[in-house]
A and B are shown apart, each in its own frame.
Chain A
Amino acid sequence: MKKTRTLGLLALLAVLLAFPLLFSDPAVTTIAIFTLLYAGATTAWNLFSGYTGYVSLGHAVFYGVGGYALALLCKDWNIQGGYVPFLLLPLVGLIASVFAIPLGWIALRSSRHVFVVITIAMFYIFQLLAYNLPGITNGSAGIFLPSPPWDAGFFNTPFYYVSLTVLLLSGGVSWWVRNSKYGLGLLAIRDDEDRALSLGVKTGVYKLVAYVISAFFVGMIGALVGYFIGSLYPPFAFTPVFDITVALMAFLGGVGTLAGPLVGALLLAPLQQYLTVQLEIVGLDLILFGALLLAVILLLPEGIVPTLRRWVKWTASRSARTGPRTDIKGKEEALLVKGGREGKS
């Protein structure tokens, strides 16, 4: 199983790496870039909200802060478009993390229910500040980022690979956290916070650190989107759509799992891009997206990945029941055992 999975991951990686070479149409690669970015953001969101069970609907704060941070850095340091803004991304992520420390500290003091609402409120505070501090953000007139000097055919390629890098980084960190003792602590907080605390998990610090890590990646992604689009306006930099889309992608794929956010983003992001671009009837995109969501949440409340795992486990146990199969050896046997164990997690 492990070998199959590694091979599968490598194959996926190869497809992702080769994608811009196979499809050169800018319309297609633009959708691909947004898909990668949403996958990265959802993975980062999941690292905090999925593992700890504290649902944040205010991650657009870091998305917007990242965008504005990159724009202001470029302006103050007089950076022209090109590859340099990409190198600034880690710094932008750090700035977003610095913002996350006090915000997380305040919000995480309250219960899970209240936390959701506080994150929404924080999101609106930042959106209003972006409007109300024209000295920094240029208010509703918006702020522009330097435009890269690449021609239309090549334009998307650097963005694609940088987005892929960010996704791989956030996926890697998410994987590492999930398999570390720290990640176990986070999952313990999700399952029973009081008990985790009494068993010696420093719940406050654990939650805050996850929040800050998650903000780091979301900030970088916000900056990338800003650079890609070329301009920032308060309602688009701090957009409620980002908050909810990320949560939905995670829920669709399976909250708290490693692959879930990826699956959710790969399915939903292209659909969303398509719906907003293609449909001409006003409001129809919202109706379709909302209806799809309702269907998914009500029919697959656990998300795709956990449901699939359960299904694999169920078929495995059924085939075990229908008759003694002596021919299962080695790899296949390991697959069954592993599938059974994973279904529980």
Chain B
Amino acid sequence: MTVSQSTVAARATKPGHIKAVRAVQSVLLHILAIGLGVIFIAPFVWMVSTSLKDVEQLYTQAPKLIPNPMRFENYAEAWNSLPFLRYTLNTSFITVSCIVLEVISCGFVAFGFARMNFKLRDFWFGVLLASMMLPGSVKMIPMYVIWRNLGMLDTYVPLILPAAFGSAFYIFLLRQFLLGIPRELDDAARIDGCGYLQIWWHIMMPLTRTALITVAVFTFMGAWNDFFGPLIYLTSDAKKTLALGLRIFQGQYGSEDHLLMAASVIVLLPCLMVFMAAQRYFIKGIALSGLKG
């Protein structure tokens, strides 16, 4: 209280010219920040713009941002040129399964690491983190051999089942988050007769909601956009995913940029919506987990 009062006092006694300098700085800051924002969003905007052009507008010396005429038929054309509905359903199935499994398993394991005492706990946690260092390319051949021997090729199992065991980064994130929740809550619940399982499900899962949403969003983006997993494990056409579909589309209509961009926007749209809906949660989710240790 005293600190903020003295700050107010300090601000009030500031000479006028410092205020003016600050105002100019603030304007410059806004211009710079907006400029940076524009640069980052520009490729996306251009993608939407290209997806609405007709062929004549694609290759001109002075490209236009807003197409005239706008050709919305590009979307229908792209959508109908391949079984995109099938791909969307397949991808949704994989993505939703991964999210459910990942959120539950990571929450579960993180609770164990954050709240229980056992021998070599920090050692096992370290080993788990170290496993992130291994490049995917080292894993690729051995994993393929394992799944082949289990007869799981051309099924969704190799794409979904690993999520049931969690992944090191998300376990790390959730553990950090849980460490910030006071232990008194656990103790109170234990006195009331709750076991670990009840404390986890009824107290910790709701309290870590923001961090769980973060994990869910990251899992969503990872699974939805995954290209190599489906490429390696799925062979039959009916099982393919959107990322693969886009690749096939690129092979067939590679020179027709407007259709390619329309197809890309279609694939991207669900990601965009999830991201918009969840972004404030996941900034908070990462902030509270603090990555602080």
B is a partner of A? no
Residues of chain B at the chain A interface (Cβ within 8 Å): none
